[in-house]
Amino acid sequence: METPWLDEDELATWVRLIAVVELLPGVLDAQLRRDSGLTHFEYFVLAMLSEAPDRTLRMTALGRRTNATLPRLSHVVRRLEERELVERFPCPEDGRATNARLTTAGWDALAGAAPGHVATVREHVVDALTPAQLDQLRGIAESLLVRLDPDGRLTDLYDPPADRP
């Protein structure tokens, strides 16, 4: 029942990973907020909508893709709606459900924010690693997600988005 402590190498790796995990969101958020007035999470919400058919998703589906709880998503979408970047309307097929759709202004905001965001990602991550490391990182992240996201909520993003209710 006792858990073995981390040895020296494990601890060193862990501490470095923690540092990355703590610092990276701040870097992304700071750049996006400064240049585009968007949170990284808001950016991600807009991006997910932009890739959906008719730029529309049900709140639940959007929550799955963004790994957000429904309350959190509800607040964020309300604020985005106040800024007229998305619009909400009741789902025709299910009276309980709400659809969120990206507006033209929302698409423009996303398009305006994307280049700077991609540049930040390149500068701080992609271009900071060798191609071999980038490949290793993909495998590592996949292994971690098996434990962190056993239901594969976020995994739908890259594999076929089979959204079968």
Partner DNA sequence: TCGATTAAGTTGTTCCGTCAAGTGAGTGCC
Partner DNA sequence: GGCACTCACTTGACGGAACAACTTAATCGA
Task: Name the one residue in this structure whose structure tokens are 């494990």.
Answer: 10
What is the dihedral sign for C-alpha 61, 62, 64, 68? negative
Edge-to-edge strand ranges of the sheet holding 98-102 = 56-58, 98-102, 86-90
Closer to its own copies by CB, 6 or 91: give it: 6
**Would you tell me which residues interact with DNA (CB under 7 A)?**
26, 30, 33, 39, 41, 58-61, 63, 68-79, 88, 91, 94-98
Site membership for its own copies, residue 107 (CB under 8 A): no
Smallest separation, CB 79 to its own copies (Å): 19
Closer to its own copies by CB, 41 or 99: give it: 41
Determine which residue in the list 70, 135, 161, 163 makes contact with its own copies, applying CB under 8 A: 135
In the chain, what is the greatest distance between 2 CA atoms, to the nearest angstrom? 58
Smallest separation, CB 141 to its own copies (Å): 4
Nearest to 72 by CA among 33, 45, 96: 45
